[in-house]
Amino acid sequence: MSDTPFRCGYIAIVGRPNVGKSTLMNALIGAKVSITSRKAQTTRHRITGIQTHDDAQFVYVDTPGFQTRHANALNKTLNKTVTNTLTAADVICFIIEAGTFGPADQQVLDLLPKNVPVILVINKSDTMKDKARLMPFAAEVAGKRAFAAVVPVSAKARFQLDALEGEIKKHLPEQDAIFDADDITDRSEKFLAAEIVREKLFRLMGDELPYTSTVLIEQFEQEGALRRIFAAILVERDAHKAMVIGNKGARLKELSTQSRLDMEKLFGGPVYLEIWVKVKSGWADNEAGLRAYGYE
């Protein structure tokens, strides 16, 4: 039996939109539990990803990018999710993009509590054309706060992820595991199915579709290894519905195929998937409506 004490705790992954928070969490746990897209505001929920080793359990919490531009109901709800996560974290990973630190990054940094260890994670460090700029850039940002560590990484290339994990582990409390060793998330398969469809929706539609569009799983049934999933994409207008369906249904067919393949990979079994597109006006206009559609 090892003399090394077991460590376990919550790690909040925070930063402005589109710095690679979800990609980083997926890379750290080795499975896709948080959706990724170039479109801002893709992550709307607090997503937990779990990685367990012999001597530690890392409970990563991916958060929506903190919204600083528009004070609407959705953004207020997203920001509340971020601040609630920070108060419960044992460690905070503050993610920025290599070579870029702007007012939005500073606003997120200013929100971070002083009594929680914060690790500065410089993502996409492999994309800097002038590699000689990386260290001066890191030193400049590191001067803005007393960080527990500064770690340049590349989530996509899996560069320096072991080093980041090692720094996180130093600050986790000594306690037993919170989750079972084979758990990778605390979210249900039904929730993950909806998130996969939403990711494909934004990836295929780009900026054509408003970010307020969402996905509901209306039925989720399991028969042995087969999962039968019936999903509805909710959009605001008939014109958006036509865009999602595409010419002769081609776009919806592609979206369904990509979603099904990702679900089968994540769930480890066959999936029968049907997706409808529905118009639902006004559902995102107030906080009660947001809660009704699964926002936290």
Would you kindly state where each structural domain of the chain is located, as residue ranges? Answer: 7-170, 189-292
Confidence band for 54, pLDDT divided at 50, 70 and 90: very high
Output the pLDDT for position 235. 86
pLDDT at 53: 94
pLDDT recorded at residue 277 = 92
Overall average pLDDT of the 168-173 stretch? 96
**Identical topology for domains 7-170 and 189-292:** no
The beta-carbon contacts of 279-286 under 8 Å, at least 24 apart in sequence, are 279/234, 279/235, 279/236, 279/237, 279/238, 279/240, 279/241, 280/234, 280/235, 280/236, 281/236, 281/237, 283/214, 283/234, 284/73, 284/74, 284/212, 284/214, 284/236, 285/73, 286/73
Residue 110 predicted with pLDDT over 70:
yes
Q: Which of the pair, 169 or 191, is modelled with greater confidence?
A: 169
Q: Is the pLDDT of residue 169 over 80?
A: yes
* Selection from 93, 160, 91, 92 nearest residue 125 by Cα: 160
Q: Which of 7-11, 29-33, 186-190, 271-275 has the lowest mean pLDDT?
A: 29-33
Residue 259: what pLDDT?
95
What is the chain's mean pLDDT, rounded?
83
Residue 284: pLDDT above 90? no
The DSSP code sequence of the chain is ---SPPEEEEEEEE-STTSSHHHHHHHHHTS--S---SSTT---S-EEEEEE-SSEEEEEEE-PPPP-S--SHHHHHHHHHHHHHHHH-SEEEEEEETTB--HHHHHHHHHS-TTS-EEEEEETGGG-S-GGGHHHHHHHHHTTS--SEEEE-BTTTTBTHHHHHHHHHHTS-B---SS-TT--BSS-HHHHHHHHHHHHHHHHHGGGS-TT-EEEEEEEEEETTEEEEEEEEEESSHHHHHHHH-GGGHHHHHHHHHHHHHHHHHHTS-EEEEEEEEE-TTTTSSHHHHHHTT--
Q: Are 88 and 63 in contact (CB under 8 A)?
A: no
Q: What is the pLDDT of residues 138-151, one digit of tens each?
A: 999 999 999 999 99
Residue 290 pLDDT greater than 50, yes or no: no
Tell me what pLDDT residue 152 has.
95
CATH classification number, 189-292, choose in 3.40.50.720, 3.40.50.150, 3.40.50.300, 3.30.300.20: 3.30.300.20
Question: Residue 263 — very low, low, confident or very high, per pLDDT cuts 50/70/90?
Answer: very high
pLDDT of residue 61: 87
One-letter amino acid for residue 289 of the chain: G
| 101 pLDDT more than 70 | yes
CATH code at 7-170:
3.40.50.300
Average pLDDT (109-132) is: 90
* pLDDT > 70: percent of the chain: 80
Q: What confidence tens digit (pLDDT) does each residue in 64-97 have?
A: 655 444 444 444 544 565 666 687 899 999 999 9
Q: How many CB atoms lie within 10 A of CB 89?
A: 22
Q: At residue 85, what are phi and psi to the nearest 5 degrees?
A: -65, -40
Q: Tokens in use for 205?
A: 């539609």
Q: Pick from 11-25, 69-83, 155-169, 191-205 the range whose average pLDDT is largest.
A: 155-169
Q: Report pLDDT digits (tens) over 201-237.
A: 888 887 666 556 788 899 999 999 999 999 999 888 8
- Give the distance from CA 105 to its chain's centroid: 17
